[in-house]
Amino acid sequence: MSKKRKNIRRREEPQNREEIAEKRKALGKMLMLVLVVAIIFGFYRAMLNFSFFKVVFWVYLAALPILIIAYFIYNKGMSAKGVTEDMLPDEWSDEEKTKFIEDGKQRLRKSSWMLMGIIGLLFTFSFDLIELFAVPLFKGM
């Protein structure tokens, strides 16, 4: 009798230090996002028990569109995202094209804190809406 070997998929290990550094950086960003969401959500839920909760609700509700608008204004309407040098006007020099593309990438990196706040607030309001409308609907069944 011959033994059959199972094809076991093995995770590809990063080949060099740059890949390892990128994975650590991505993990750090993910942990930071989880922390920010937990803080925003936790504060909101903790304030539910106090009489001034309506103030907190309206502050959160005002902060969300302000952050979204600020994010898009700061990133110039995302006009530089995914742009290559071929897409830019021919009148621009190579230096101007490179500067425009690098500026767009830098703006996206610098505005990541706003995106984390936006995600945290969206999660908080989504959870609140589910709790207010979906949970009572299923409890009545």
Percentage of the chain beyond pLDDT 70 is 90
Closest CA to 64 of 106, 107, 109, 126: 126
User: Residue 10 has what pLDDT?
Assistant: 64
- Mean pLDDT in residue range 75-89: 84
Q: State yes or no: pLDDT of 14 exceeds 60.
A: no
Q: State yes or no: pLDDT of 1 exceeds 60.
A: no
**By the 8 A CB rule, do 64 and 122 touch?**
yes
Domain regions of the chain by residue span: 18-75+111-139
- Mean pLDDT in residue range 66-85: 88
The pTM is what? Answer: 0.76
Q: Give the distance from CA 12 to its chain's centroid.
A: 26
User: Residue 81 has what pLDDT?
Assistant: 81
User: Residue 64 has what pLDDT?
Assistant: 96
Q: State yes or no: pLDDT of 110 exceeds 80.
A: yes
User: Residue 88 has what pLDDT?
Assistant: 87
